[in-house]
Structure 1
Amino acid sequence: MQKYIYISNDIRNKIVKGVYHANDQIPFEKTLCLEYGVSKMTVKKALDILVAEGLIIKRRGAGTFVKDLSIDEIERIAVKNQFRGTTALNPDKKVRSEVLLFSVVHAPEIVAKKINLEPESFVYDIYRIRYIDEKPSVMEQMYMPIDLIPGLKKKTLENSIYEYIESELKLTIQSAHRKVSVRKATDEEATYLNLEPGDPVAVAEQVAYLDTGAAFEFSTSVHRYDEFSVELILTRD
């Protein structure tokens, strides 16, 4: 992960989690350079991302501050932050992937239906395990249209696919529809996730969308019961 992306993810997470509150001053760029061990240009690029997202503002001669965000805005950011992926949500930890399967196939019927593909369309078929600080956390089965997400390679899958989509392809991930259920782990899942036979797992089925409205992912992820949480925001019209 590029350093400026890492820094923007870290500061964004601190805002969402309330480490930095509305109107709090972000440390000066010189301090951030020392904290993250990077150049002033790298820090500037990271802060510019957060300025563009509307999370912080720069006041000439005073410094950089968290915007006075409304409750609705904080909720929107918290929800959107869930769809940045495992790497972005854990900037202070080592995240890596072990790729079990990577191939190009005709979209299975359920996949074509979920992400609105024409019959016989080709998709990536991706199966991988994600580790956080060398502890297996989640098994992911993912399908993505090759014409919408071109150029995926195994090396990309070993890191962050979402970072590749936004940084390399210059696409914007907007939202996802997710259904979560709980069941017992299969023998294979228990082995890969280092669980006891019969331990519970959380299963998240997801369709993810770009800001164009195009669905780019249908996935099923199986999470360790002690490594998974989901934030829900309920509103009443």
Structure 2
Amino acid sequence: MKYLTVREHLRSLIAEELGVGDAIPSERELCGQFGVSRMTVRQAVDALVVEGLLERVQGRGTFVAQPKVDLQLRLASFPEEMRRRGMEPDLRVLAAELTAATPQLAAALELPVGADVYYLRRLRLADGLPMAVEQNWVPAALVPDLLEPEPASSVYDALAERELAPTWGEDVIEAVQLDEEVAGHLGISPGAAGLQIRRRTFSGDLAVDYGVSVYRGDRYSLWVPVSAPGPTLVPSRRRLAAVVGTRNEPNPKEGLA
């Protein structure tokens, strides 16, 4: 099919000659080069837009898109994930404090209501680009020095140092529209698409962390391996639905309220 020839030509240009933000040849140029109609050229371009290799900017043209990072659901810290992809991680601490567990947060972490928990809110960056806003709540009794002398860059590493390395977790994933405050931290427009992951993390049977992360939708694609149905991985009492089923962003001062 003719559009496949045009598509593979553009794919080669993206891989070998063009950089992020560069414009691709115009429809007229491609029509003349390959002797095809504009509809055929548009079909080829559409396929690469869907793949995330190109992006259209209204009134300006079609450009090479910023590559997306595959977000794999792994119990790994953000720095570990970014370094594995050859990117340099960084962070900015937005909040770090000791607070009391609300009823919902206490349920998520399996603590008494009012128990001390550390709250961390951080902006995660890779190669200098804002990638995600993370919130974490950790039982203070597990890692008393989490904020000393400064907030830990990796909650998972801090837990591992206490022989509480995460062994499993459970996620709730949903698409969200970024509010003005989060969008500002990420350097994109309010209302843009984001990917939100709520996670409870366990070391054995002990709940060690509850987190809410919001990732830029224009920089992440979610990769999830699947398999045939099998035995339930964890006891049903671990189900998140009754604990964190709300779709509202938790108030940093109130845990999951």
TM-score class, shorter-chain normalisation, is 0.5 to 0.7
Displaced runs of 4 or more, over 6 A: none
Residues 1:231 and 2:223 are matched in the alignment: yes
Q: 2:111 aligns with which of 113, 117, 122?
A: 117
User: How many positions carry a matched residue from both structures?
Assistant: 157
Residues 1:90 and 2:103 are matched in the alignment: no
Residues 1:104 and 2:104 are matched in the alignment: no
| Counterpart mapping for 1:38-187 below 5 A | 82-91=74-83, 92-153=86-147, 157=151, 159-166=153-160, 168-187=161-180
Matched to 1:90, the amino acid is: M
Q: Which has the higher helix share?
A: 1
Question: Any stretches of 5+ residues in structure 1 without a counterpart?
Answer: 1-77
CA distance in 2, matches of 1:217, 1:189: 22
* Residues 120 and 135, structure 2, Cα contact 8 Å, conserved in 1: yes
Residues 117, 107 of structure 1: alpha-carbon distance in 2 compared, 3 angstrom cutoff = same
The CA deviation at 1:156 is: 5.5
Between 81-90 and 96-105, the greater mean CA deviation after superposition:
81-90
The CA deviation at 1:143 is: 0.5
CA distance in 2, matches of 1:151, 1:218: 18
- Secondary structure of the structure 2 residue equivalent to 1:150: coil
Residue in 1 that maps onto 2:56: none
Q: What's the C-alpha RMSD, in Å, of the aligned pairs? A: 2.0
Residue in 1 that maps onto 2:8: none
The CA deviation at 1:116 is: 0.9
* Residues 142 and 217, structure 1, Cα contact 8 Å, conserved in 2: yes
CA distance in 1, matches of 2:108, 2:92: 26
The CA deviation at 1:144 is: 0.5
CA distance in 1, matches of 2:171, 2:202: 11
CA distance in 1, matches of 2:208, 2:134: 15
Residues 1:191 and 2:190 are matched in the alignment: no
* Residues 176 and 193, structure 2, Cα contact 8 Å, conserved in 1: yes
Matched to 1:89, the amino acid is: E
CA distance in 2, matches of 1:126, 1:86: 14
The CA deviation at 1:171 is: 2.3
Larger Rg: 2
